Structure 1
Amino acid sequence: MTTSNPSPQLSACPAPTRLINCRDPGRPHLILAKGSSHTYTALSYVWGPEDQPHRTTDANLPSYMCSIDSATLPRTIRDAIYLTYQLGIDFLWTDSLCIIQDSPEDKHRELASMRDVYRYAYLTIDAASAEKASDGFLNDRTPLRPDLVLPFICPSDDINPLAHCGRLQLYENSSPDTCTTNNGNLRTGERAWCLQETMLSRRTLVFTPDTVQLRCQTTTQNIGGAKHDDAFDIPRLPDALFYPNRSIVRDPTLWLQIRQRWLEIVNDYSRRKLSYPSDRLVACAGLAELFARALGSRYVAGIWNDKHLLRDLLWRVPEPARSRPTEYLAPSWSWASVEDVIPFYFDLHLNSRDMATSVTCTCTPHDPAFPLGPVASGYLVLQAHMFRCRVKGRHVSGVHLHINAMQ
């Protein structure tokens, strides 16, 4: 007979549609949790290139509601179930099991609420050391090899009355092994979906190749006090995004800081990998929803239709640029239309002067119930003046320009 650890006194939050019951780690099962409050953990991990035969489908959903043979699950999910149980928490959320993978309707519904899944999780488990789902993350960590070892005379004390010789281990400060980050050398730091999973989580246990980190909205600490360089950490969400009222809209300086942070997030997000290019706007929709509520601006295929719209259009791709995707991802004027790293030309400023005017900027979403997700089409109209320039040895007179960009 298997007994569960006593659950800690944790505050319950609105639950996703389905959760994994982890009270018996050897025989977990799915439960319907929508409409109730539960304390649960959420898993952030990399699927990898291999097939996921364990995933929930319409066919196996009834049996998964009764029992799931843990031996059929990849090691990363087994580790997450075991860790959740050891923490005294009864439930776990992970996408491959809690979303019906062959149901477009269920996928659309669940992906539209991803922001709440990680925001309301008591703890997010970040399997940052696992390159694929079968690797697991509860592995022995190899001790770091010091760059220099020096003898050190330890003074006597009550426990050791005689002085003895110890070792002083020195590590190069710039060594990547002694400077763990949440992107660089970590697998989840390479995955686009994991960016919003990390940023939206209230607290995260990050299982890196070298140590375990506790990350919250304030700081990141390595277990055991190992060095962590915050300069290379994922940017945190500004506190103003969680204000209960709309005061941010009336504070131009604060509003501009939030707006600028979005551009930084886009730059980080665009560096990450997606298994399916069509997820370009889907995997950041949870963050976009949070920013939209704080900014009071209308979100249009990755950019904001407000007074700084023109700045959002000043993105570029590095040289040599990749070819455009064969499938339609977004209007050509949106950074989401390409699969490349997206830097912007300059920072936003309150006193900057616009040389053009936005007349119309709108998009048609694929699913009206998921307005911040993928789009079917987009329409942008700008109005501006041209200036005199030389093109291949000929003069071009300045004329009034009316740009009608539609795609």
Structure 2
Amino acid sequence: MTDSPEVVIVGGGVIGAAVAYFLAKRGIPCSLLDKGRIGGESSNAASGILSSSPGESQYSRLAQRSLSLFHELTPVIREESGIDIEFVECGDLTLAMNENDAIALRGLAGQLSAMGDDVRWVGSDDLREMEPLLNPAIPGGMFASASCRVNNQRLASALVLAAQRYGAEVRQGVEVTGIAVENGRVSGVMQRQGFTGANIVVLAAGAWTGAMDRWLYDDQAPSDTRVPMVKPVKGVNLNVQPAQGSVGRMIHGSWGILVPRNDGSMIVGATVEEAGFDTRVTAGDVHSILGVGNALMPSLRDAEINWSIAGLRPGSGDDLPVIGRMPGYDNVLVASGHYRNGILLSLATGEVVADLVEGSNGQLLSDFDPERFF
């Protein structure tokens, strides 16, 4: 690694880690900077859900590509990094909490099945057979067999270790404080510990990416308008140790989720709240999560709480990711705004950002172009 890498990536969550992985694997010198530890923010607080996404929209195609990459690269990443990211093809059950839900989900299951998705309605008897610990009052649910899960708390570290194997530089505890611009072109990033020059800068700092546009546009930045490019959306998850057994599949019901882990524990969540950069876990958060969790799986009342965590998801002004070149700067890219699907979209995002670095025009990313906020 030279003193001035080709690319500097700001942010060491799962998105920045994936960008570093794909760049380094292609032989492009890169440096990944994070103000804390790798994967220590929203990537650490996620649930690890990799949902199938039917359709032909750019978002659906990005999600489909990313899920395909998880299937393809999981054994490769394990070999490269020595870390098992616990990728499991388990399927996903979306539960009908009442008869109106049941009518709607039956119709949706039929529509998705007609589009070619492996999705079906599961009645109450079959549901009891599939997941006997679920609330027996639930009338049924929609089962999507293609959905998978991953241990999100291992993913960023695995990608970074693999990237380092290919020559990427990784610097933790380095806070970037600004972007240096010379003659209308970015020349690197400033940090409390000095300056790192680069030909290309990638902003992938999750919920903190939104405020970074001020470094380029001063008071004309989207973060100073009513429609910010990226904003923090707080989410709280619990990890519990069920006393009477877990579920085998991911469960969605009402606003709650249950996600089994390989160690026998279970993620129960997840709240959604716009509360700025507040990362406290409150008694109200825990009460709400346990309430919906118990409604889905009554035996959770006896579960032991292993830990609770709050993360700041990077939402966007229109709930779509923000991926592409920043307007007016052909050597500044952004990869953020993935909201609740950063884990799912991580690998495909890393791949397309590497394509942009290598000169792709990003035609297939027009829906995600940051210019829509300017």
After TM superposition, the score normalised by the length of structure 1 is 0.21
- Which is bigger in relative contact order (C-alpha 8 A, separation at least 6)? 2
- Higher Cα radius of gyration: 1
More helix as a share of residues: 2
More strand as a share of residues: 2
After TM superposition, the score normalised by the length of structure 2 is 0.22
